[in-house]
Amino acid sequence: MPLHLQIQDLLALGYSVVSRLAYVMYIGLALRRADAEPVARGAGAQAYARFRRRAALLMYHDGVAFVAVCLLTRGTLDLPLPLAWRLAGAALVALGVAVKLWAAATLGADGYYWRDFFEPETRPAPTIAGPYRWLRNPMYTVGYLQTYGLALLVASLPGLVAAVFSQGAIIAFYRLVERPHYRRLYGAAPTARRRLSTSQETG
């Protein structure tokens, strides 16, 4: 499988990786701090509003960076039967976006942006509605298929690498930050609480 990578392709991939690291590290550190240092009721609402603005900015930037690496490095991967791969990519995009939007609508904006880390009294009960009826973490699993699909649509090897890195980073965030938080709230039993990210993200 011949590859056609140039230095600018690697730079685009590096930018996408740095963007994902900035997003995941910010939300991870901010949420762990909120978990460890609860604030007064009124201050929690203000802290959440600040966090949500910053998280959204980093999230959208991360999404743009991922789309950019796919477009800027298109054609770097030679695939047999390119039409079949493009159709498969389009199907993955449709499925991933549909599941992500369905999960986001099920959670609501507050769940999507981790409000209960800042205001524990707002935490909802664990849900088995929507895609959570069948998947524990639809956001971070099936909800990332569109990243792989986009990379296949444009035949981008750096796009595929960025997709793998993006999903791996958000799953690491889930295991290190989200899952411990919800186990403290709801006990050791696994709960169908949130997206297993971001976008909230393109992916």
Residues 196, 132: contact at Cβ < 8 Å? no
Residue 50: the pLDDT is 92
Residue 37: the pLDDT is 80
Per-residue pLDDT of the chain (203 residues; tens, 9 = 90+): 445 678 888 899 999 999 999 999 999 999 999 888 876 666 788 888 999 999 999 999 999 999 999 999 998 988 888 889 999 999 999 999 999 999 888 877 777 788 888 887 777 666 677 888 888 888 899 999 999 999 999 999 999 999 999 999 999 999 999 888 888 877 754 444 443 333 333 33
CA atoms of 147 and 159, how far apart (whole Å): 8
Structure tokens at 111: 């769940």
CA atoms of 119 and 174, how far apart (whole Å): 19
Residue 192: the pLDDT is 40
CA atoms of 76 and 152, how far apart (whole Å): 11
Residue 166: the pLDDT is 97
Residue 105: the pLDDT is 86
Among residues 30, 94, 93, the alpha carbon closest in space to that of 56 is found at 30
CA atoms of 171 and 24, how far apart (whole Å): 10
pTM of the model: 0.83
